[in-house]
Amino acid sequence: MEKNSLKIVFMGTPEFAVGTLSSLVENDYNVVGVVTQPDKPVGRHHEKLQPPAVKVYAQEHGIRVLQPEKLKDEAFISELKSFDADIFVVVAFRMLPKLVWDMPRYGTFNVHAALLPQYRGAAPINWAIINGEKTTGVTTFFLDENIDTGRIILRKEFDIPEDADVEYVYDGLMELGAKAAIETLELIKDNNGRIDCKEQDTFTTDGVSLKTAPKIFKDTCRIDWNQSALSIHNFVRGLSPIPGAWTNMGSNGVLKIYKTRKTGIKASGKPGTTVMDKHHIYVNCTDEQLEILTLQPSGKKRMDGASFINGIRNNDAELYMQ
């Protein structure tokens, strides 16, 4: 099968998905259409519409874009069928109904930002870091009726450095995911769509539980100081820079915390109490003190610990995080 004869419809929304779409275009694959989310209202009064990153890229490259409100809408299904696609490629999109993912001749595969079957769900990068994983990766798999459970085509590993945050892993997996998508398409092309896949049970290990990656909400991001310094350090970097871990601190209200440092200093007070000098702010955890390196008080810009200390000393604020 020739590369240009393989007609592809790409489905995705955020910048993470653009990494794969751009790789398909740059490698001369025949992307006949793109499906993405509707434009999102933004601004104080929702007076403006912001197009998804995938739409912007597609339009810049002359690719037809569909933005259905409902994936079972008859008009959308008709338009999708008109592409006569051989394969759908999905990256960071919505859950597809069977009448969509079962439409193309060679099926629909997804690029997932984790080593399935671990971290099925909407936020695999965040949860892998929060749980202190040292290795994650990407998986390509064929879609089926359930979420992230389909037959695995290939997996590629990615090392997580000890102090890496979401931005670092996101960027790395965006690049790795694009490579995995190209390799998967090469397999499909070279084997006329008939490729060996493995059930996800093949990748499970006896005695090792499967971890999930549910969607993250505001309450998910609140720091519980009644944990070890390592657990909180991982929690902060697993939510940095977006959406950001947060805590309450007396009259200073909500603080977002973006970067911490493990000190090895034994805790000297109850979890959540602080210890400060002129340039550093430490918080007692259950075992050690954790240094706060970068934070953002409500209504203010992001700042380092020393700048924050100067501000709260001037205001004589309460120094207890909860």
> Could you tell me if 34 and 83 are in contact, meaning their C-beta atoms sit under 8 angstroms apart?
no
Predicted pLDDT of residue 42: 85
Note if the bond before 271 is cis, omega within 30 degrees.
no
Output the CATH code of domain 3-203. Answer: 3.40.50.170
A 10 A CB-CB count for 169 gives 24
288-297 and 281-284 as β-strands: parallel, antiparallel, unpaired?
A: antiparallel
Q: How far is CA 103 from CA 85, 86, 110, 267, 288, in A?
A: 8, 9, 15, 59, 55
Enter the tokens of residue 310: 């100067």
Predicted pLDDT of residue 215: 96
Query: What is the rounded distance in angstroms from the CA atom of residue 271 to the CA atom of residue 183?
Result: 49
Query: What is the rounded distance in angstroms from the CA atom of residue 266 to the CA atom of residue 70?
Result: 55
Output the CATH code of domain 219-315. Answer: 3.10.25.10
Hey, where are the domains in the chain? 3-203, 219-315
Query: What is the rounded distance in angstroms from the CA atom of residue 153 to the CA atom of residue 172?
Result: 20
Predicted pLDDT of residue 194: 87
State pTM to two decimals. 0.94
Is it true that 3-203 and 219-315 share their CATH fold?
no
> Could you tell me if 80 and 100 are in contact, meaning their C-beta atoms sit under 8 angstroms apart?
yes
Enter the tokens of residue 194: 């008939």
Mean pLDDT by 10 residues, the chain (322 residues): 90 97 97 97 82 97 98 97 98 96 97 98 98 98 96 98 97 98 96 92 89 96 97 98 92 89 96 90 96 94 92 56 70
> Could you tell me if 272 and 284 are in contact, meaning their C-beta atoms sit under 8 angstroms apart?
yes
Predicted pLDDT of residue 262: 96
Query: What is the rounded distance in angstroms from the CA atom of residue 20 to the CA atom of residue 24?
Result: 6
Phi (first) and psi of residue 209, to 5 degrees: -80, 150
